[in-house]
Amino acid sequence: LELFNAGLYDAAHSMLEQLYKELAGREAIIPSRKVEMYRLLAEGYRLWDLFRFTEAVVPLDKAANRLAKFDVDIIDFPIFEKNLGALHILARESCHRNRDGELDFFSLLQDSELSLHFLADIYANALRRADQGKYDDALIRLYRTIELVGQHRLANVAEGLDSSKLSWSKVPQDSQQKFMELGTQLYGSALSRLPEAVGLVQGHLLLYCLNDALWQGKDFSDLEALSNMVKFRNHLILVHATNRADRKDFNRFRRFALGFLRRLADLYDFVTENLIAEHTFPRLVLR
């Protein structure tokens, strides 16, 4: 259980799986029943931690049924129920896959509820990585959170804009011109043409030029702050061998990511803290 509570779900599942097999068939019904529930919880959260949502549903649903049936107090059940509700929303990503299992990510981004939960899940995953001291991994997830906020908003404006293959014909001329002008200011050199795809900073720049609600009340200095934060993250990657990210770096980036997540949640009348709590994994207790 210490492994599970430390976020080492794979190791916890392996040990519980081995223990369950050793107890199977013996006259130890109650102990093996508890071990089975621990094992199911470890397996489900292990898969969830790897973003394998649809697979995670199976063991966690089984665990929920057994916990209710046998009234075993090994986990905070109200928190677990909230987790399970969020997981079932995340598992809807399977509806955006084709017959070959390939994900239509643009289609997923147009599902606002699923996108919000997906973003909250990546953010909560980043917090777990930081708690394990894996700050580089945590920063990658926070970066992805900010990037996905922009991609989601683009997918839901101007008839739907795909950041990986932009249809500039959907963007008003004045917004295109503003994008070129502000892009020049932001990067210190003139943009030669409108890009075919946009990354994190350019995606948010385009939203700013489109007067998207996400950027209302913000000005160019906020875009510069975002750009500087991304430069800081890229610098850490470049000098990774000698200068790894630390807790201070993580907290700096976390505040930025949380700000974007909160703004997006507010647009859809979600309470950010409640959303994150639904994706925060509980601890197991020994009974």
| Predicted local distance difference test score (pLDDT) of residue 245 | 83
Q: Amino acid identity of 140?
A: I
- What residues have CB less than 8 Å from 76, skipping those under 6 apart? 282, 283
pLDDT value of position 25: 60
> Can you give the pLDDT at residue 36?
86
Would you state the pLDDT for residue 109? 96
How high is the pLDDT of residue 26? 61
Q: Cα–Cα distance between 196 and 219 in angstroms, integer? A: 25
CA atoms within 13 A on the CB side of 208: 23
Q: pTM of the full predicted structure?
A: 0.91
Cβ atoms of 158 and 166 closer than 8 Å? no
| DSSP codes of every residue in the chain | -HHHHTT-HHHHHHHHHHHHHHHTTSS-HHHHHHHHHHHHHHHHHHHHHTT-HHHHHHHHHHHHHHHHHHT--SB-HHHHHHHHHHHHHHGGGGGGB-TT--B-HHHHHT-HHHHHHHHHHHHHHHHHHHHTT-HHHHHHHHHHHHHHHHHHHHHTSTT---TTS--GGGS-HHHHHHHHHHHHHHHSS--SS--SS--HHHHHHHHHHTT-GGGTT--HHHHHHHHHHHHHHHHHHHTTTT----HHHHHHHHHHHHHHHHHHHHHTT--HHHHHHTTS---B---
Residue 39: partners with Cβ closer than 8 Å, 6 or more residues away:
13, 16, 17, 19, 20
CA distance 90 to 53: 6
Angstrom distance (rounded) from CA 80 to CA 222: 38
Residue 30: per-residue pLDDT: 53
* Distance separating alpha carbons of residues 14 and 37, to the nearest angstrom: 14
pLDDT tens digits for the chain (287 residues)? 788 889 888 888 888 888 777 766 665 555 578 888 999 999 999 999 999 999 999 999 999 999 988 877 889 999 999 999 999 999 999 999 998 989 999 999 999 999 999 999 999 999 999 999 999 899 999 999 999 999 999 999 988 999 999 999 999 999 999 999 999 999 988 888 999 999 999 999 999 999 999 999 999 999 999 999 998 887 776 555 555 788 999 999 999 999 999 999 999 999 999 999 999 999 998 77
Cα distances from 268 to residues 70, 113, 262, in angstroms, run 39, 9, 10
- What's residue 34's pLDDT? 83
Q: Does residue 114 contact residue 93 with C-beta atoms inside 8 Å?
A: yes
Q: What pLDDT, on the 0 to 100 scale, is given for residue 242?
A: 53
